[in-house]
Chain A
Amino acid sequence: GAVVSQHPSWVICKSGTSVKIECRSLDFQATTMFWYRQFPKQSLMLMATSNEGSKATYEQGVEKDKFLINHASLTLSTLTVTSAHPEDSSFYICRPSAGLSTYEQYFGPGTRLTVT
């Protein structure tokens, strides 16, 4: 089956710093990348959608200048949390999609961000 990796798996950073999270699709080309975040005891919330080589589309309430998404290649997307604050502490999960209706759709293992 498809494999999706995220790096790092967890990160602790100080308030005001920026953090970059990588998502890689290891055995298929992801034309679309979805980024989610999940707060404790809550469900996954879609943050943004990006197509390779295009600007990301953000969901309502998600600050595009704070959460920078780069999808420069078909196997790599990055999410950068800029000027992180404690309220940005969350579990961030990616979902690369090859756009195939019959394909098993996989999610990344997630990145735990803690801002102190």
Chain B
Amino acid sequence: DAKTTQPTSMDCAEGRAANLPCNHSTISGNEYVYWYRQIHSQGPQYIIHGLKNNETNEMASLIITEDRKSSTLILPHATLRDTAVYYCIVFYRDDKIIFGKGTRLHILP
């Protein structure tokens, strides 16, 4: 079973920040939190990952709670091209990645 739970779908207005939550209450100490997104008929696209500290890159920010039991992916200025299914995953090194159903994000014009 997937180690994470995410809302099934979310809407966000274009130009606004999209905040996607993820619960991973059983995360182990050495497991990283990874976020991917999948646009129709494409492989999962890497977005960002982190262990304990908040992370930011050119695509997004990742906020991990102090107890590491949940995280939030932030897309600062959502565009229509950000419409996709977003997957939150926790794993370590060569561990198998078991995907949950992800969050289907709709960006509204």
Contact in complex: B44, A107 (CB < 8 Å): yes
With A43-B102, A101-B30, A101-B32 already in contact, the answer to whether A107 and B96 are too (CB < 8 A) is no
For B, the interface residue count at a CB cutoff of 8 angstroms equals 22
With A43-B102, A101-B30 already in contact, the answer to whether A110 and B97 are too (CB < 8 A) is no
Total residue contacts A-B, CB cutoff 8 A: 54
The residues of B that contact A97 with a CB separation of less than 8 Å are 93-94
Most buried by A among B34, B44, B99: B44
The residues of A that contact B44 with a CB separation of less than 8 Å are 44, 93, 107
For A, the interface residue count at a CB cutoff of 8 angstroms equals 28
Contact in complex: A110, B46 (CB < 8 Å): no
Q: Which A residues form the contact surface with B (CB < 8 A)?
A: 1, 4, 6, 31-32, 34, 36, 43-46, 49, 91, 93, 95, 97, 99-102, 104-110, 112
